[in-house]
Amino acid sequence: SSHNLSEEFAEAARQLKKEAPRIQFGKIDVTHQNDLRKEFNIREFPTVKFFVDGNREDPIDCKGVRQASAFITWVKRRTGPSTVIINSTDQAEAIINADDLAVIGFFKELHNDSVEVFCETAKDVPEMPFGMTTSNDICANYGIQKNTVVVFKKGKPVHNEVLQEGRQNKLDLTRIIKTFTLDLVTEYNLETSVKIFDVPVENHILLFTPKNSETFNAIYENYKSAAVEFRGKIMFVLVDTNETRNGRIFEYFRIRDVDVPAVRILNLTSEAKYKMPADEVTVENLKQFCQSYLNGKAKLHLSSEEIPEDWDKMPVKVLVGKNFNRIVF
């Protein structure tokens, strides 16, 4: 919530005041500062912007950071080095085992395009430590080829991403690494919905099913198996149809009890919705659906009425499919 974020922001300010007194923190209530709201194009709340060297024209957006510790890391990585240079296996072990997650880049040299992409990605993922090395011993110790980024979870490698010189994209790497801050399948609820939308993956697949049904475990295992292959490309979300607080999301997807289990894909940018053509939630059907969607071959599902011109004139706003996502989420 906005209140929680405000408290975490204030806590980060308190801690950084001792460590980095040059960094000033400020809070603006834009309901009373309409000019500032317009100047900086503030559309959602809360919004955090970072101004560097007194430059008012081009502040950096701080998105998806929720905890004081992550705020502090985010600011430090913007004002200093974003990654630690690792020179020994002991040092690597210390970073890998210090937290749940860690990201290590194994490189041929410390100055090339791949390293630059890695360091830029580290700035946008303050939730986990980033380290990089060119040491042959360390590469040999983990059996990893150079120019590879490895995500470690609880001390074990869970994802290898080989970087192609000059070809990789910072956003792609950020997406893949950020998805590890969530479970492979994330259950939709009020707490997780914020995190789901913070991870920059615009394609979401949703499984609508009652969690207490006899077939749930088998369906859920299939769903998790399919999720592994599409990490960073499609986010896998579970919606419990027995949870009454999820009513809005059923309405948006026009899901009824008779339809479940149901599988839909949503593209957050275009708000286009797609229905899995097969009824059975098998690994094969899920993979085919996801692949055909990524290849641009999936058929669009469910039309929406046009947004009425006076939809926001009255105290009760009129929502249709086309403006639901933007307004509700």
Question: Residue 164's pLDDT is what?
Answer: 81
228, two tokens = 């592994």
Rounded CA separation 69/166 (Å): 33
Note the CATH number of domain 183-295.
3.40.30.10
CA separation, residue 326 to residues 9, 264, 284, 318 (Å):
25, 18, 32, 13
Question: Residue 4's pLDDT is what?
Answer: 82
Give the pLDDT band (50/70/90) at residue 54: confident
Q: What value does the mean pLDDT take over residues 231-253? A: 91
Peptide bond into 46 cis (omega under 30): yes
CB neighbours of 98 closer than 8 A, spacing ≥ 6? Answer: 129
Computed over every residue of the chain, the mean pLDDT equals 90
Residues β-bridged to residue 103? 130, 151
User: What confidence tens digit (pLDDT) does each residue in 243-268 have?
Assistant: 988 888 888 888 887 788 999 999 99
39 φψ region: left (φ > 0), alpha (ψ -120 to 50), beta (else) = alpha
Smallest CA-to-CA distance from 45 within 80, 95, 79, 1 is with 1
Instruction: List the domain boundaries for the chain.
Output: 1-79, 84-179, 183-295, 303-328
- To the nearest 10 degrees (0 to 180), the angle between helices 113-124 and 68-79 is 150
Selected from 1.10.3470.10, 3.30.230.10, 3.40.30.10, 3.60.150.10, the CATH number assigned to the domain covering 1-79 reads 3.40.30.10
Asked whether this chain's domains 1-79 and 183-295 adopt the same fold, the reply is yes
Encode 99-113: b = buried (16+ Cβ within 10 Å), e = exposed: eebbbbbbbeeeeee
Rounded CA separation 303/299 (Å): 12
Mean pLDDT comparison of 6-10, 25-29, 219-223, highest-scoring range: 219-223
Q: What value does the mean pLDDT take over residues 50-60? A: 90
Percent of the chain, pLDDT > 90? 61
User: What confidence tens digit (pLDDT) does each residue in 67-81 have?
Assistant: 899 999 999 999 999
User: What confidence tens digit (pLDDT) does each residue in 288-321 have?
Assistant: 999 999 999 988 875 566 788 888 888 898 888 7
Question: Residue 124's pLDDT is what?
Answer: 93
Question: Residue 248's pLDDT is what?
Answer: 86
Question: Residue 324's pLDDT is what?
Answer: 81
Rounded CA separation 136/10 (Å): 43
Topology at the third CATH level for domain 84-179:
Glutaredoxin (3.40.30)
Q: Mapped to the 3 state alphabet, what secondary structure does 177-221 carry?
A: HHHCCCCCEEECCHHHHHHHHHCCCCEEEEEEECCCCCCHHHHHH
pTM for the structure as a whole: 0.81
Give the pLDDT band (50/70/90) at residue 325: confident
CA separation, residue 98 to residues 93, 130, 153, 163 (Å):
8, 12, 11, 25
Smallest CA-to-CA distance from 241 within 232, 233, 231, 251 is with 251
Q: Give the number of other CB atoms < 10 A from CB of residue 320.
A: 13
Give the pLDDT band (50/70/90) at residue 168: low
User: What confidence tens digit (pLDDT) does each residue in 180-226 have?
Assistant: 999 999 999 888 888 898 899 999 999 999 999 999 999 999 999 99
Question: Residue 303's pLDDT is what?
Answer: 55
Mean pLDDT comparison of 110-124, 163-177, 290-304, highest-scoring range: 110-124
More confident residue, 285 or 193: 285
Least confident piece of the model among 8-17, 84-93, 319-328? 319-328
Q: Mapped to the 3 state alphabet, what secondary structure does 282-305 carry?
A: CHHHHHHHHHHHHCCCCCECCCCC
